[in-house]
C-alpha cells in the first residue's frame, strides 16, 4: 500500500471514529425511547408507548417551538438581510463596529441575556408571560448568524458594480434590491435560515429562564422529562425532536444547493443551419 493510500485510509478511519463518537450516543438515546425497560435493554422488547405518552402530554411544547422558530426566521429575515446589505455597502470603521456589536449576544451566556431581558421588560406583565418574550430572546441570539451568512455572500461579489449597472438601465432602489441584491445573496439567506431555525428549535439556556408554565418550549420540556419522569420518556422526547428537526434540515440543505443551468449549443438546436 503506497503512502497516499495509507493516508487516505487513516483519514477515513479517523472521520468514521469521530462520526461514531457523535452519533452512537444519540442512537442509544433514541433506542431507549423505544424499549419497554431501558435497564433490561432491547431484550425487554420494543414499544411505542413512551412516544404516545410524550405526544399526549407535551405536544403543545412541540408546536410552540415550531411556531417560535418560524416566527424567529421571519423576523431575522426582515432585520438581518437589510442589515447585511447596509454593512456590505458601508465598509468603514463604523460598519465594522456595528458588526461586532451584533455578535455580542453570542459571546454572552444565554442566562445573562435572559436576565437582561427580564430586567428590561419584566415589568410588562402581558409581554413577560407571552411567547413573544421568548421570541425576542431567540431573535437576539440568532440574528448575528443571519447577518454574517448574508454579509459573507455580499462581500464576495462586486455588489457596487452590479447596482451601478442596474441603475444605469433605469432601475430604482427597490428594483435593484429585489432583482439584483436578493438573488445574488440567495445562498447566504438559505444558510442563515438553516442556522436560525435549528438554533431556535434547540435553544435551552436562555429559554429556560424566559419561559413560564404556559410558554414551555420543546427543549425545556425535554429537560423536565429527563429530570422528573422515566428515562424512557425523556428518550422518546428526544426521538420526537429528531423526527422533527432532521427532515427540516434535509429540506433546507436541499434548497441551499446551487442551481445548475444547462446551456444548449446553437448547432444543437433543431433549426440550426450548416
pLDDT of 117 reads 87
Q: What pLDDT digit, counting tens, does each position of 225-258 carry?
A: 777 667 777 788 778 877 777 777 777 667 666 5
- pLDDT (average), residues 104-129: 83
Confidence of residue 268 (pLDDT cuts 50, 70, 90): very low
H, E, C per residue of the chain = CCHHHHHHHHHHHHHHHHHHHHHHHHHHHHHHCCECCCCCHHHHCECCHHHHHHHHHHHHHHHHHHHHHHHHHHHHHHHHHHHHHHHHHCCCHHHHHHHHHHCHHHHCCHHHHHHHHHHHHCCCHHHHCCHHHHHHHHHHHHHHHHHHHHHHHHHCCCHHHHHHHHHHCCCCHHHHHHHHHHHHCHHHHHHHHHHHHHHHHHCCHHHHHHCCCCCCCHHHHHHHHHHHCCHHHHHHHHHHHHHHHHHHHHHHHHHHCCCCCCCCCHHHCCCCCC
pLDDT of 256 reads 60
Least confident of 58-62, 83-87, 132-136, 138-142: 58-62
pLDDT at 99 over 90: no
Domains of the chain: 18-256 (1.10.3720.10)
Q: Which residue has the higher pLDDT, 207 or 122?
A: 207
Q: What pLDDT digit, counting tens, does each position of 7-42 carry?
A: 888 888 999 999 888 888 878 877 888 888 877 777
Amino acid at each position: 500500500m503506497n503512502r497516499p493510500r495509507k493516508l487516505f485510509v487513516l483519514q477515513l478511519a479517523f472521520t468514521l471514529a469521530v462520526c461514531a463518537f457523535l452519533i452512537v450516543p444519540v442512537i442509544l438515546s433514541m433506542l431507549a425511547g423505544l424499549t419497554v425497560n431501558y435497564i433490561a435493554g432491547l431484550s425487554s422488547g420494543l414499544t411505542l408507548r413512551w412516544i404516545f405518552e410524550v405526544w399526549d402530554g407535551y405536544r403543545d411544547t412541540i408546536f410552540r417551538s415550531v411556531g417560535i422558530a418560524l416566527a424567529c426566521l421571519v423576523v431575522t429575515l426582515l432585520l438581518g438581510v437589510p442589515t447585511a446589505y447596509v454593512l456590505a455597502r458601508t465598509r468603514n470603521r463604523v460598519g465594522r463596529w456595528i458588526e461586532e456589536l451584533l455578535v455580542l449576544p453570542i459571546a454572552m451566556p444565554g442566562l445573562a441575556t435572559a436576565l437582561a431581558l427580564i430586567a428590561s421588560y419584566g415589568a410588562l406583565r402581558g409581554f413577560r408571560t407571552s411567547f413573544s418574550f421568548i421570541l425576542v430572546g431567540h431573535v437576539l441570539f440568532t440574528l448575528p448568524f443571519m447577518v454574517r451568512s448574508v454579509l459573507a455572500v455580499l462581500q464576495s461579489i462586486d455588489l457596487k458594480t452590479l447596482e451601478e449597472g442596474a441603475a444605469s438601465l433605469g432601475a430604482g432602489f427597490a428594483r435593484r434590491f429585489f432583482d439584483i441584491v436578493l438573488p445574488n445573496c440567495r445562498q447566504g439567506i438559505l444558510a442563515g435560515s438553516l442556522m436560525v431555525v435549528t438554533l431556535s428549535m434547540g435553544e435551552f439556556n436562555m429559554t429556560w429562564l424566559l419561559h413560564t408554565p404556559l410558554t414551555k418550549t420543546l427543549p425545556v420540556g425535554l429537560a423536565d422529562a429527563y429530570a422528573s419522569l422515566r428515562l424512557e420518556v425523556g428518550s422518546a422526547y428526544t426521538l420526537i425532536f429528531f423526527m422533527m428537526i432532521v427532515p427540516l434540515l434535509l429540506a433546507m440543505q436541499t434548497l441551499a444547493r446551487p442551481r445548475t443551468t444547462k446551456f444548449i449549443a446553437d448547432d444543437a438546436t433543431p433549426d440550426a443551419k450548416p
